[in-house]
Every structure is written in C-alpha cells, then in structure tokens.
Amino acid sequence: MKTPVAGIVWLVGAGPGDPELLTLKAVRVIGEADVALVDDLVNPAVLTHLRPGARVIHVGKRGGCKSTPQAFIEKLLVAEAQAGHTVVRLKGGDPFVFGRGGEETAALDAAGICWEVVSGITAGIAAPAAAGIPVTHREAGRGVAFITGHTRDGAAVDWEALARSGLTLVIYMGITHCESIVAGLREGGMRADLPAAVIQHATLPQQRVIATTLSRLTADIKHHGIGSPAILVIGEVASAAQLTAQTLIHHAAVA
C-alpha cells in the first residue's frame, strides 16, 4: 500500500444482500465517506449508513445488462481520491471474490493512491448457507471450489477437470451458461443424479431455492424462470437444501 497523496479509497464488501450482514467496520467506513461508488447488487438499505451530504455514484455492473466500463470506474476512483475525498467503493459480496477488486487496486497503485479493503461475506458461502447447505462437510464435501461461469475473455473453464476433483462446486454467474456447464461436468464423469441447487436473491425476502439434480438443473432453471443474481451449488452437500416455503421444487436423486 502506498503513502496517500490525497484522499483514500476503501473497497468495501456489502455482503450477499441482507444489510444486516454488513460488518461493523464496513458500517463505520461507509459513514466516513465523502463519495460512494455503488454496484447494482448492493442493497439500497446499505446507503442509509452514509453521512448526510455524501455523494452517491451508481456504477452498475450486472451480467447481461448495460454496465459502466471498468476503465471509467477506475479513473473515477483515482480522480475522486486525488481531489482529497474519502471514497468508498461499495461492492456486493466481497471485493476480492469475482468483484474486480484486484483490477481497481492495481489502478490505484499506479496512481499512488492509498487504499484499503474491508472484506464482505461472499455469496458463494452465504447463499448456500441461506438455503441450509454447508459448502463443506466432513463426510459429503471435503473441499469446495468457487468458480465463475462467465469470464472476461470468454475462456472456457475446465469443467471436466472440476468434475473429477470431487469438490463441491459453487458457481457464480452460471445461469446463462448452465447448459454448457452441465455438459462439461457430465463429460468429466459427474453422475446425472448428483444433488444440485440454485439459490436466487440469497438472504433477501424474495429468495428462491431449487433443490434438484445435475441432469435436471438446466430444465428446472428455465421452467421456474430463475435469473441473476443466483448461485449454483453442485455436490453431495446440495442435498441438505432446506424444504421451506422458499423452495420451489425438490427432486430426490432423480436422474
């Protein structure tokens, strides 16, 4: 981290959706901000912690939607800090878990701007937990892999290798490419009746959960109109999905 030349930028994780899952440090830092650059997935209730007079700049980034260019966001962070402001970059989940935080800190380093990170609860842990699914389990899931289903350059993930890993797979941004993800996992030897789950709008009142199997995953997502933001969980632990009013369907080991 570099010595500040003017202001400071805080990269703050706003968590998976429920504003009560903010950390105490996040609340304090948000309250000290002169300006906040806010992603679309940040719950508007989080902004109530800003002090009166703080500016809010919405720099939405959503898969499949019109987004603010990343280069513009980085220039804005630098410019606001160089103007002497305390800047909060509010991101859903955690800034360093599929949050482009590394790109932004590199830009800040290049400009000599001081920055700090306030970690947030990432959806890859919180969404399964909200559905009653532990991402690790001593008997059913001895490891977990966090993967993005959408890459910047369109490069393919080695789903066949992941299928052979024996790990619980937690997939961010996987709804659009679910069919090809399932195909890759099946080609890697993952069995058709392996438990799978989808959690949409995790931790919020509108949360929806599908408990299903790998072979039915794509069809069930389409049938129930599940869209982003959503997390996919594939592995034995997904069978622990709680059957509540939020659970749309449950298929017990159906191939």
Is 1 catalytic? The answer is: no
CA dihedral 100→104→110→111, nearest 10 degrees, is 170
* Residue 62: CATH number of its domain: 3.40.1010.10
Catalytic member of 39, 91, 94, 190: 39
Domain match, 92 and 163 both: no
Domain match, 138 and 242 both: yes
Give the span between the Cα atoms of 168 and 98, in whole angstroms.
18
* Residue 218: CATH number of its domain: 3.30.950.10
Instruction: Please give the residue range of the domain that contains residue 181.
Output: 123-250
Give the span between the Cα atoms of 118 and 22, in whole angstroms.
10
Q: Which residue has the higher pLDDT, 225 or 68?
A: 225
Catalytic member of 34, 91, 173, 220: 173
Domain match, 67 and 183 both: no
Residue 139 parent element (H or E): none
Give the count of domains, the chain: 2
Is 39 catalytic? The answer is: yes
Domain match, 93 and 151 both: no
The verdict on residue 178 lying in a domain is yes
Is 220 catalytic? The answer is: no
The verdict on residue 255 lying in a domain is no
pLDDT at residue 4, as a whole number: 45
Q: Using one digit for the tens of pLDDT, what is the confidence trace for 83-120?
A: 999 999 999 999 999 999 999 999 999 999 999 999 99
Domain match, 228 and 190 both: yes
Average pLDDT rounded to a whole number, residues 169-180: 95
Catalytic member of 61, 91, 190, 220: 61
Domain match, 154 and 192 both: yes
Q: How confident is the model at residue 156 (pLDDT cuts 50, 70, 90)?
A: confident
The verdict on residue 84 lying in a domain is yes
Give the span between the Cα atoms of 240 and 160, in whole angstroms.
25
Domain match, 148 and 113 both: no
Q: Using one digit for the tens of pLDDT, what is the confidence trace for 7-17?
A: 999 999 999 99
The verdict on residue 100 lying in a domain is yes
Average pLDDT rounded to a whole number, residues 148-156: 74
Within 123-177, residue ranges assigned H as helices are 123-130, 159-165
Q: Using one digit for the tens of pLDDT, what is the confidence trace for 4-49?
A: 457 999 999 999 999 999 999 999 999 999 999 999 999 999 999 9
Domain match, 98 and 198 both: no
SS3 47: helix
Number of Cβ atoms within 10 Å of the Cβ of 146: 18
Domain match, 143 and 210 both: yes
For the whole model, what pTM was predicted? 0.89
Q: What's the start-to-end Cα distance of the chain, in Å?
A: 52
The verdict on residue 153 lying in a domain is yes
Domain match, 203 and 105 both: no
Give the span between the Cα atoms of 42 and 60, in whole angstroms.
9
Please identify, among 60, 92, 118, the residue that sits at the C-terminal boundary of a domain: 118
Domain match, 149 and 68 both: no
Domain match, 214 and 130 both: yes
Does residue 253 register a pLDDT over 50?
Answer: no
Please identify, among 63, 83, 118, the residue that sits at the C-terminal boundary of a domain: 118
pLDDT at residue 249, as a whole number: 67
Instruction: State the chain's mean pLDDT as an integer.
Output: 91
Please identify, among 91, 118, 145, the residue that sits at the C-terminal boundary of a domain: 118
